Amino acid sequence: MGLRFLHASDIHLLDLTGVGPLRYLNKRATGGLNLLLGRRRRHDEDRFDALVEAARRLDVDRLVVTGDLTNLALESEFEHVARRLAGLDLPVTVIPGNHDTYTRGSARTRRFERYLGRFMQGERLGDHPYPFVQSFGDVALVGVSSAVPTRPLWATGRVGAQQLERLAAVLRALRGEGKLRIVLIHHPVIEGVARARHELVDLAAFGRVVAAEGAELVLHGHEHKVVRGAIAGPEGPVPVHGISSGTAVADAHPYAAAFTVYEAEAAGVRSELHLWNDTDFAAAPSDAPVLAGAAP
Ligand SMILES: [Fe+2]
Ligand SMILES: [Fe+2]
């Protein structure tokens, strides 16, 4: 048994109902208001509706969103996101992005996990929230968190040494079970993909874990850009796919709104990129070839 899923990211749903500007300006004078005004121009929630419609049309089993579901990690935003996802009538998997831990308070009170924990149910090591593993027959989704609060205007991420240790153990165990391992992380994991002050600060350490333990595919978001590349694995390159924002208003590929449909089973993964094309999403003419299967 495999898994047919739709990978989207950075939907940045905006809901400011009942939130006055002072509330966030007090917390974080830099960025808050400008960011929200800019977001309104750069993201369109109608595209999320079109994406959900496409998920139904394409008959996927699950929607996977790799972080930045909100903008400022406000309670009102999480309420809106939780309501939208719960109303989809489609199973959903999420991991957090840097915007989902925008303030120290939101991270400290585990706001993302409190509102969206139901979309991250799975196996864990002890009571550590990350990584978590969701298994679908021969396929395992491994949810990693790189979301940490940052200084204003920074958007860096960090997995952390302890989570990386757990990730190594999880990848090793899943390999032992012959699972096809798909790692979900918000920040790009290929050197040079993220802009300055947007990087995963422990990218090299993440790379060492994958180089030692392997994975069959890594999916990310964050740069609002379609990325197709690879990092080193123990038996050859591990494909890395980044996806642009699912609600981007930008028109030009690789920044236009997009998602990828994956058909994953023990033998391997097939992918099909879909790009926003004027009025709806449409399959891109050609996408990456068939990817490597699970380790024997
Ligand atoms: Fe984002
Ligand atoms: Fe991000």
How high is the pLDDT of residue 279?
92
CA–centroid distance, residue 97 to ligand 2 (Å): 5
Tens digit of pLDDT per residue, the chain (296 long)? 789 999 999 999 987 665 555 555 544 545 566 677 777 778 888 999 999 999 999 999 999 999 999 999 999 999 999 999 999 989 999 999 999 999 999 999 999 999 999 999 999 999 999 999 999 999 999 999 999 999 888 999 999 999 999 999 999 999 999 999 999 999 999 999 999 999 999 999 999 999 999 999 999 999 999 999 999 999 999 999 999 999 999 878 899 999 999 999 999 999 999 999 989 999 987 654 444 445 43
| Under 8 Å between Cβ of 121 and 109 | no
The predicted structure's pLDDT at residue 40: 74
Ligand with the closest atom to the CA of 244: 1
The structure's pTM equals: 0.93
The ligand that comes nearest to the alpha carbon of residue 42 is 1
Of the listed ligands, the closest to the CA of 97 is 2
Ligand nearest to the CA of 101: 2
Confidence (pLDDT) at 291: 47
Give residue 258 CA to ligand 2 midpoint distance, Å. Answer: 16
Residues around ligand 2, an ion, CB closer than 5 A: 68, 97-98, 222
CATH assignment of 3-283, among 3.90.1150.10, 3.40.50.1480, 1.10.1740.10, 3.60.21.10? 3.60.21.10
Domain locations along the chain: 3-283
C-alpha 267 to ligand 1 mean position (Å): 32
Q: Which ligand is nearest to the CA of 187?
A: 2
Which-ligand-closest: CA of 195? Answer: 2
